Amino acid sequence: MADTATAAVAHDEHHEHAESFWSKYIFSTDHKIIGFQYLFTGMAMGLIGGFFSYVFRMQLAFPGSSVPFFGIVSPAAYNSLVTNHGTIMIFWVAMPVLIAALGNFLIPLMIGCDDMVFPKINRLSYQIFLISAIVLIASFFVPQGGFGGAWTAYPPLSAKSEFNGTPFGAPMWLIAVTLEIVAFLLGGINFITTTMNARAKGMKLYDIPMVVWMIVIASILFMASVGPLVAGAVMLLFDQTLGTGFFDPAMGGDPVLWQHLFWFFGHPEVYVVLLPAMGVVAEIICTFSRKKLFGYKLILYSSIGLGILSFFVWAHHQFISGVDPRATYLFTTTTLLISIPVAIMLFAFIGTLWGGSIRFTTAMLFALSFIAEFLIGGVTGIWLGSSGTDIYLHDTYFVLAHFHYTFVPIAIIGTFSALYYWFPKMFGRKLNEFWGKIHFWGTIIPFNGIFLPLFILGAAGQHRRIAGFTAYPDLYTENFQDLRVFATGSLIVLILFQIPFFVNFIVSLKRGQKSGPNPWKANTLEWVAPSPPPHGNFGDDLPEVYRGPYEFSVEGRDEDYWPQNVPNEPEPSK
Amino acid sequence: MLEYFLPRASSFAGSIDHLFDIITYLVMFWFVLVLGFFFYVVFRFRHKPGQKAEYITGETHKQKMAIEIPHYLILVCDLVILGYTFVVWHEVKIDIPPHDEEVRVIAQQWAWTFEHAGADGILDTEDDIVTINELHLKKDAQYTYHLSSLDVMHSFSIPVFRLKQDAVPGRVISGHFKPIMSGEWDVQCAEMCGYGHGFMPARVFIKSAEEHDAWVAENTPDHLKKDTAYALTDSETKEAPNNG
């Protein structure tokens, strides 16, 4: 009996010990831990995607020569590298970091509740996401290597291994993408339900911080658009593995059907990642310009309008793909119209800065550069949205440079500004500002150095996904090759300047300046909780909300901020 | 602006370039204006000790108009671009003029096959000239091309023509172009088509009518040449009902 009791105690202790590591960090249902899991997985995948870009940019700059840390880049390897670079950066970096990591970490804190409403679904979401990442990485090491049919995976190339040469890589790629989508559907359910049902007492819909709104709208967009893609992915998987012919014209199928299903998802997907980044920027520019967000409802309704409009633009990816040429009249119109809501949001951000008192912290520098760089990405879309010029520019480096000027501000600049801003809340210490600014300039300048030359190459008629331009006399000229070398050199500089960031990140975890609960004097509820917030976030007393999230510099108050949870005082007599 | 990089070798290249220029002027105007204003705001409202930010909601009518009015102007620019886009798109992709010459373009992994109609000007006759990765065109002749693919998606792109069209397996897609300049340029595949995608270059050779006829004669077997001379008058009489 005594033995049993001791054993039980010992077991309990053991169990407790096991819980304190496994259930705290690996099988946790705490939204913050799940957010970190997504964040670190996303950052690790970002390193892989970044390494891929280094390898293929080296091949383009010095075709045929051996790339340090990789070797000779065969055409098969090149195709696989560009395909998986795109896939990883969108599905395994932009989405997990911007939506899943920020959504999980911020939503319960910002709306003032203790956790997500479905914590176990949340845990399942990350586990499926992790499996999807493992399947994708495993697909690089199977016989014949990873899938190389571009991230858009157009059949028949993607459907038959005699065309793509990757009998294992292609289905694994598709399974990985599908699993990733399942993970995000589970996460999205949580974000929407939690925001709608678990808000702090007193928080009305218009008191919700903009970044939370943006993540919710993005989740709705994702859920509404992803259905056709999943259906298409299952059909494509059947074509690959069971020999069906959904996309095979010889068997009565239609390869262009996949393009419709893919882009019906693919275009809203751009806004799925754009909106959270816009939300991050909105939070940061308000805090560091000490200003109320200019036109909260205008931004909110613009983003909803943007989301709805984004369902009617997909065929602008297919102007020359063999769809009825008359259809382009409609899709050009909707595509050019989408410039309006995006421009409204950017103008509202500039309106927020107007009359402010702007402090250039690293987070703010990244947020401001988001506005400037995304503007380039936005306006260059006009050349491509116009079907007339798209005939020429389609699938050139002009397209490539354009969408990197949207995705890099979203996924890289947006993420960095969020990290510099919320790092004190996540880990209780600030990132070093001096090294942060070195990291900022070392990221922004080479980023433009990579992609501005690519606009020129694209305008000169250089097409994408070509493993080396040696076969094309018009493109393999000395001037063009210089531009390619310049872009590659800029990329290497950009990658090297990420080293200070990672060192800063790791050192600041232990030695950074302690931040206290509200280092930036911001208003939203996450700054009420201790830094880092404990399990359950706010302790026993959940905060109550008395006003909107952006009451900065209110006249008649001594302090220039007014947190959402501070009760109204009697009006000062003056 | 594009002619700085490569010549305008087709009849519609000028229209596409002109549209490109119009978009460039309108977009650059807004881009410089907005970016300049942005930097001005960031500089003017930088933090100064003892100065407090203003409280502006952006919800009053006047403030909303400050955002709205520029967007009406942007909308006007959009409409200008849209109208001109429709004109150019109609010219390049919808309105296929009657042709002088026909050529069939067949894409496969990883080569281009070009079927030239030969001396009789009719495809699928004995004197067709089939070439791999070489497209021979007659300057100032109006061409109709018939594009197809044997295996996967490809895209037929001739940058100097500003022409691009995906080749879809199971379909024949027709379009047109009119070379207006002699020379020799790249033809690229613009859609990922597998391992050899980067290495399926073709060249387009545009020659004057006499030179092109000489090339046709050179590539027509001798026993067909005589027949062709007879067939020419023959086919001309046959051609009229065919076209109608």
How far, in Å, CA of B219 to CA of B210, rounded?
14
Chain B contact present for A402, CB below 8 A = no
Size of interface A-B (CB pairs under 8 A): 285
What order do you get walking across the sheet with B134-138 strand by strand? Answer: B134-138, B202-207, B183-189, B154-158, B163-167
When CB atoms are compared, the residue of B19, B169, B198 closest to A156 is B169
The tokens for A341 are 């809501």
Cis geometry, peptide bond prior to residue A156 (ω within 30 degrees of 0): yes
Between CA A54 and CA A491 the distance in angstroms is 7
- Give the ipTM: 0.90
Prediction pTM value: 0.92
CATH number attached to the domain at B2-48+55-94: 1.10.287
Angstrom distance (rounded) from CA B218 to CA B205 = 15
- How far does the CA of residue A456 sit from the closest CA of chain B (Å)? 9
B42 with A368: Cβ contact below 8 A: yes
pLDDT of A500 reads: 95
DSSP B39-83: HHHHHHTB--TT-PPP---S-SHHHHHHHHHHHHHHHHHHHHHHH
Other C-beta atoms within 10 Å of B214: how many? 12
Nearest CA to CA, how far is B243 from chain A (Å)? Answer: 23
Q: How far is CA A80 from CA A141, A232, A258, A373, B196, in A?
A: 12, 21, 20, 29, 13
Please give the backbone phi and psi of residue B124, each rounded to the nearest 5 degrees, phi first.
Answer: 65, 30
State the smallest CA–CA distance between residue A180 and chain B in angstroms. 24
Tell me which residues of chain A, numbers 463 to 482, contact chain B at a CB-CB cutoff of 8 Å. 463-468, 471-475
Over chain A (574 residues), the average pLDDT of each successive run of 10 is 40 48 81 95 96 96 93 93 95 94 95 93 95 96 93 92 93 95 93 94 94 96 93 94 92 92 93 95 95 93 94 92 89 92 93 94 97 95 93 95 95 95 95 96 97 95 90 92 96 96 95 92 93 88 92 89 86 52
CA distance B214 to chain A (A): 26
- The contacts found for A162-165 with CB under 8 angstroms, 24 or more apart, are A163/B109, A163/B151, A163/B152, A163/B194, A164/B194, A165/A76, A165/B194, A165/B195
Identify the pLDDT of residue A23: 74
- Dist. CA A11–CA A28, nearest whole Å: 21
**Contact (Cβ atoms closer than 8 angstroms) between residue A312 and residue A334:** yes
Which CA distances in Å does B227 have to A264, A331, A407? 55, 51, 62
Q: If 0-12 CB within 10 Å is exposed, 13-18 middle and 19+ buried, where does residue A72 land?
A: exposed
Q: Tell me what pLDDT residue A570 has.
A: 64
What is the pLDDT at residue A568?
A: 84
Find, among A551, A566, A563, the residue nearest to A524 by Cα: A563
| Residue ranges covered by each domain of chain B | 2-48+55-94, 101-221
Instruction: Note the CATH number of domain B101-221.
Output: 2.60.40.420
Q: Are A39 and A101 in contact (CB under 8 A)?
A: yes
Question: Strands B134-138 and B202-207: what pairing?
Answer: parallel
Which residues does A9 contact at the CB level (< 8 Å), separation at least 6?
none
Q: What angle do CA A474, A479, A483 make, to 5 degrees?
A: 110
Q: Around B224, how many Cα atoms within 13 Å sit in the side-chain half-sphere?
A: 14
Q: Which residues pair with A514 in a beta bridge?
A: A429
Query: Is A555 in CB contact (< 8 Å) with chain B?
Result: yes
**Contact A328/B93, CB-based, under 8 Å?**
yes
How big is chain A, counted in residues? 574
Can you give the pLDDT of all 244 residues of chain B as single tens digits?
888 999 999 999 999 999 999 999 999 999 999 999 999 999 999 998 888 888 988 888 888 888 888 888 989 999 999 999 999 999 999 989 999 999 999 999 989 999 999 888 888 888 899 999 999 999 999 999 999 999 999 999 999 999 999 999 999 999 999 999 999 999 999 999 999 998 889 999 999 999 999 999 999 887 776 554 444 444 444 444 444 3
Pairing of strands B202-207, B183-189: antiparallel
Q: Among B32, B47, B146, B166, which would you mutate to test the A interface (most chain A Cβ atoms within 10 Å of its Cβ)?
A: B166
Candidates B55, B151, B191; nearest CB to A555? B55
Nearest chain A residue (CA) to B155: A321
- By three-state DSSP, how is residue B156 classified? strand
The C-alpha atoms of residue A98 and residue A414 are separated, in whole angstroms, by 8
State residue A17's pLDDT score: 46
Searching chain B, which residue's CA lies closest to the CA of residue A459? B2
How many angstroms separate the Cα of A363 from the Cα of each of A134, A274, A391, A414, A511?
32, 18, 40, 9, 19
The shortest C-alpha distance from A506 to chain B (Å) reads 30
What is the pLDDT at residue A41? Answer: 96
User: B159 and A474: CB-CB below 8 Å?
Assistant: yes
Residues belonging to chain B: 244
* Three-class secondary structure of residue A352 per DSSP: helix
Q: Which residues of A touch B54 (CB under 8 A)?
A: 291, 355-356, 553
> pLDDT per residue over B196-237, tens digit each?
998 889 999 999 999 999 999 999 887 776 554 444 444 444
**Chain B positions in Cβ-Cβ contact with residue A350 (cut-off 8 Å):** 34, 37-38, 41
- Contact between residue A298 and residue A344 where contact means Cβ atoms under 8 Å apart: yes
Q: Where are the alpha helices (H) located in A198-338, listed in sequence order? A: 210-241, 255-289, 296-309, 327-337
Write down the pLDDT at residue A19.
58
The SS3 assignment for A285 reads helix
Beta-carbon separation of B52 and A290 below 8 A: yes
Three-point CA angle A309, A315, A319, nearest 5° = 135
Contacting residues of A for B48, CB less than 8 Å apart: 357
Contact A543, A528 (CB under 8 A): yes
Q: A326 to chain B: which residues are within 8 Å by CB?
A: 94
Nearest residue on chain A to B2, alpha-carbon basis: A459
Taking alpha carbons only, the member of A257, A218, A253 closest to residue A97 is A218
Residue B189 is predicted with a pLDDT of 93
Distance from CA of A408 to the nearest CA of B (A): 18
Query: A39 and chain B: CB distance < 8 Å anywhere?
Result: no
| Of A31, A52, A56, A44, residue with least CA distance to A119 | A31
